[in-house]
Amino acid sequence: MLEVTSLFAGYGGRPVLEEVTVRIEKGRLVGLLGANNAGKSTFIHTLSGVVPAMSGRIVFEGEDITTLSPQARVERGIIQVPEGRLVFPDMTIRENLLLGGQHKLARPKRSQRIDEVLELLPRLKERLEQKAGTLSGGEQQMLAIGRGLVAGPKLLMLDEPSLGLAPKFVQYIFEIIEKLHREGLTVLLVEQNLNLTLRHASYCYVLERGRVEVEGASSIVRDDPRTKKAYLGL
């Protein structure tokens, strides 16, 4: 479904990502691991088009999308749930969800998808007319995921969904992700949380200083000594 080949990307002419090659097959839950500053967020931003690629190719469902605008990528179903639960605090939960499906391909199915999201995340249903800024951190993360789902994702990219959440919520969020995956959604999970990601993802990549250090089935990545090394920065 997604093939990233020899990708270089970064800011101000200096590459953060170097020669990153990643393959995500349809229906998989793929983990992207790495310590702080490994380039995980840059990778997601390059996929969503916010950070331009310097060289390399991104192919999505057979189409070269390397130079497409962020809007065009959203329309193709590449949806990012940004790090830090970036919901719109002054708007209600309903408005946040509606905005998730604002692009023209999502509009016809928007209200149906919102119903599905509210079924999946009943906590949001009780608070539909409440301002998003009044939600707890975990609820905001649910809303951010819900907003992404309303957009009609083919590939859902989650940037550190567990960041700063209470353990109870982390557990819950991962259950939601697992459930979406089982229903057939392709997910790219970018995480620092090594154990949880290895448990849920079937295939993982470990980034270190912008390069893919380790890749393989989760059980293999778990036992590879380079994984620990990438995390501890030894």
Partner 1 sequence: MKPAFFQALRNPLWWLLLAALAMLPLGLPSYYLHIATLTLVYVALGSAWNIVGGVGGQISLAHSLFVGTGAMLASAMLLNSGINMWVGLVVAALVSGLMGFLIAVIDFRFKLGHLSFALITLAFAEMGEIIVIGWDYLGGASGLFLPRDKGDFSAFQFGGGEGAFYVMLFLAALSVLVSFAILNLPLGYYLRTIRDNENAARAIGVNIFRNKALAMVISAVLASIIGTAYARYLTFADPYLLSSPVLTIEIVLMATVGGLGRSMGPALGALLLVPLGEILRGKLGGVLPGLHYFVYGGVVVAVILATPRGLLPLIQERFARLRGNAKPEGSVASSGA
**Given the rule CB under 8 A, which residues bind partner 1?**
48, 50, 69-71, 73-75, 79-82, 86-92, 94-95, 98-100, 102-103, 129, 131, 147-148, 151
What is the end-to-end Cα distance of the chain in Å, rounded?
Answer: 34
Q: Which is nearer to partner 1, 145 or 214 (CB)?
A: 145
Minimum CB separation from partner 1 for residue 164, in Å?
Answer: 16
Which of residues 25 and 90 has its CB atom nearest to partner 1 in the complex?
A: 90
CB of 153 to partner 1, least distance (A): 11
CA–CA separation, 6 vs 19, rounded Å? 4
3-class DSSP assignment, residue 3: strand
Q: What is the DSSP string of 187-226?
A: EEEEES-HHHHHHH-SEEEEEETTEEEEEEEHHHHHH-HH
In whole angstroms, give the CA distance from residue 147 to residue 99. Answer: 7
- Cβ proximity to partner 1, 104 vs 168, nearer residue: 104
**Nearest distance from C-beta of residue 188 to partner 1, angstroms:** 14
* Shortest Å, Cβ 195 to partner 1: 27
224 closest CA partner among 216, 122, 108: 216
Question: Which is closer to partner 1, CB of 33 or CB of 93?
Answer: 93
